[in-house]
Amino acid sequence: MKEVDYMAVADKAMKQIKKGAFLTVRSGEKLNTMTIGWATIGFVWKKPIFMIAVRDSRHTFGIIEEAVDFTVSVPSGDMKAAVMFCGTKSGRDYDKFKECRLNTADGRKTASPIIDIPGIHFECRIVFKAPMDPVYLDQTYEDLYPEKDYHTLYFGEILDCYEF
């Protein structure tokens, strides 16, 4: 495991996130992972921040709403099948960890674990969340929400960033 500066790996991470990465959240006994393809990494409120978006129709939404943190595991190897499964199947209906043979490893600074795979791992503490108000959404993006299931944006302070 190698500690890395979050901004030094941000471009590499974002290129992979466009293809899919794993958002993992734990709240008490509830645990789920899902695929994310939209995110941003930056600096807000004088802190390193990882912003993710979760639709309120997703199973993960119910967990992250109760959680204090989340992790993002950005795979470096071929995880296409698992990324596809976790992005198209609900944790309500499937144990994604079992179905995709995904193992977790304890977060070093979060209650939410990481997916134990080679890649870049971000451990984040939720510092702000805001549901999208479609009134403020540019109408050219409205076609991304045919079911009107808008995202809630979660801003996580990056507490740890490493790769293996």
| CATH fold label, 2-163 | Pnp Oxidase; Chain A (2.30.110)
* Greatest Cα pair distance in the chain: 44
Q: So what's the pLDDT on residue 115?
A: 98
- In sequence order, the β-bridge partners of residue 159 are none
- Residue 36 one-letter amino acid: I
Listed as ranges, residues in the chain with pLDDT below 50 are: none
- Of the candidates 59, 1, 67, 6, the one whose C-alpha atom is nearest the C-alpha of residue 34 is 59
DSSP H helices in 73-119: 80-88, 96-99
pLDDT digits (tens, 9 = 90+) for 5-15: 999 999 999 99
Per-residue confidence (pLDDT) for residue 77, from 0 to 100: 87
Long-range residue pairs from 127-130, CB within 8 A, at least 24 positions apart, any chain: 127/45, 127/47, 127/49, 127/155, 127/156, 127/157, 128/154, 128/155, 129/153, 129/154, 129/155
For residue 128, the model assigns a pLDDT of 98
Cα dihedral 139, 15, 96, 80 in deg (nearest 10): 110
Instruction: Judge whether 152 and 133 are in contact, CB under 8 Å.
Output: no
Domain residue extents for the chain: 2-163
pTM value is 0.96
